[in-house]
A and B are shown apart, each in its own frame.
Chain A
Amino acid sequence: MYDWDHYEELALDYIEGNLSDERRRTFESFMESHPEVAQEVRSLKESMPVLSVDRVEFPDKERLKRGVKRSLRWRQVGSFVGGAAAASVVVGLFGLLGSLGRIDDSIEYGGQQLAEQIEVIYQETAKSVAAETEVAQADDVKQDVVSDVISVPEKVVSTVDTYVGAVTPLTTLNKRIEAPKVDKNQEELNPVVLEPLFTDSYAVPDLIASNRDITLEQVELPEATTDELPGYDDSDEGLTDGTKEAMRILASLLAPLDDLLPIKRYSTENERGIEIASFIRIGNRVE
């Protein structure tokens, strides 16, 4: 027997035509003995008060967002090639700073000498990293990458400083880096403006394109076993060797900084790889 205290459930289904024949008949006979219910139902069948569409816009969308601001344009680069190229420049930066630590600071450098030495190290680092990350084909993204890479979050800069240790050239370098302004309330990272260090230095993509003959010793990358690397998985068959190598290099460089720059694996509908600090991605398109 139906619980008629809640006849409204049946009434709604009746009006919307969702009752089986049997239930419909039961409800119709219920209405015959309850004219007030029949009246309600008739009234709603005539016309049902329904809200019409009303557009309302949430005013603070950007504040809700968690990704890096669009102006950084990491996402526009997007593809593996772009990601790898961008990463290689970041790695280049790390490599450069790492190499600076090796400069014998007992030697007195004049500004010109220092500039030359840093340029050489920079080119060397850039070339070796670029070669490893198969970035040479990245013609179409060069400009994007160059403009993207000048935006380095504060964490990266300050971490690099602490990690490498303050040597004289770094002081020079830091003067050129405008301190980023981070508004704690908004939790947004503003881009850092990194001006060219030396007039004669080359951006990595330009260097790659120039085919300059650079024969200098290989830059040593910090060693780390792949087992310890965050986000790194050699066994993933969906990834090309180039991606794996890029992942390995980047992961090994950033492994000591895992707390500050969290590295994790990511996978989307058509891409897989590792993600650093939620905005640098190295990955493969997966069909």
Chain B
Amino acid sequence: MTASEYDRCVDLYSDNLYRFVLKSLRDEEQAKDVVQESFLRLWENREAVISGKEKGYLFTIAYRLVVDQIRMRQRYVGGEQVLINRGSSQRGEFDNLSETIERYLDLLPPIQKSLILLRDYEGYSYREMAEMTALSESQVKVYIFRARVTLKKYIGDINDIL
């Protein structure tokens, strides 16, 4: 990969990668760091990365960095409570269903959340997601199903309240 081909990857994928990481971590600075680190690794491994697989490579690296970040948070702050608290600072009113869904994303376990983001935003297949996350395809489906059920339950509850 030449410098110009690499730069094209920045143009094509940095927004989507940032969206994935930002929504996973809910922290702009950390998200920027992860995106930068992912692109740095792409550059360092530019000879090894197969042409056409750059996007998958970037998301794989970013996913691992996100998982590391979340583990570190859990270690230092104690459990997933942090993510849940941040995410559920509700405003009480919701503009539309998708915004509602996004708020409840934070209630999901981190892996389920990342998988939903990869699936819905990036349109990755279950097989591709399995490769990226080092899970089996069947595990990926299990997580996605559980995530959808959980989200549906929360949204259903909200509708009942309204």
In whole Å, how far is B104's beta carbon from the nearest beta carbon of chain A? 8
| Chain B interfacial positions (CB closer than 8 Å to A) | 2-7, 10-11, 14-15, 17-19, 22-23, 32, 35-36, 39, 43, 97-98, 101-102, 105, 116-117, 120-121, 138, 141-142, 144-146, 148-149, 151-152, 155-156
- Set of chain A residues within 8 Å of B155, measured between Cβ atoms: 49
- Which of A11, A47, A54 makes the CB contact (< 8 A) with B19? A54
Question: Whole-angstrom distance between the alpha carbons of A60 and B116 in the complex?
Answer: 26
Measured CA separation A48–B145 after assembly (Å): 10
Cβ 8 A contact of B145, one of A9, A53, A56, A65: A9
A107 within 8 A of B: no
- Contact call A56/B15, Cβ cutoff below 8 A: yes
Question: Is the Cβ of B32 less than 8 Å from the Cβ of A59?
Answer: yes
Interchain CB contact under 8 A, B7 and A66: yes
User: How far is A9 from B102 in the complex, measured between Cα atoms in Å?
Assistant: 23
A155 smallest CB distance to B (angstroms): 15
CA distance A128 to B4 in the complex (A): 31
Find the A residue at minimum CB distance from B19: A56
With A8-B145, A12-B144, A63-B36 known, 8 other A-B pairs at CB within 8 A are A47-B152, A51-B98, A51-B105, A51-B116, A54-B19, A54-B98, A56-B19, A66-B3
Chain A: minimal CB distance from B68 (Å)? 20
Which one of B2, B101, B156 contacts A266 once the chains associate, using CB atoms below 8 Å? B2
Q: Mark each residue of chain A from 257 to 274: 1 if its CB lies under 8 Å from any CB of chain B, else 0.
A: 000000000101000000
Which B residues touch A63, using CB under 8 A? 36
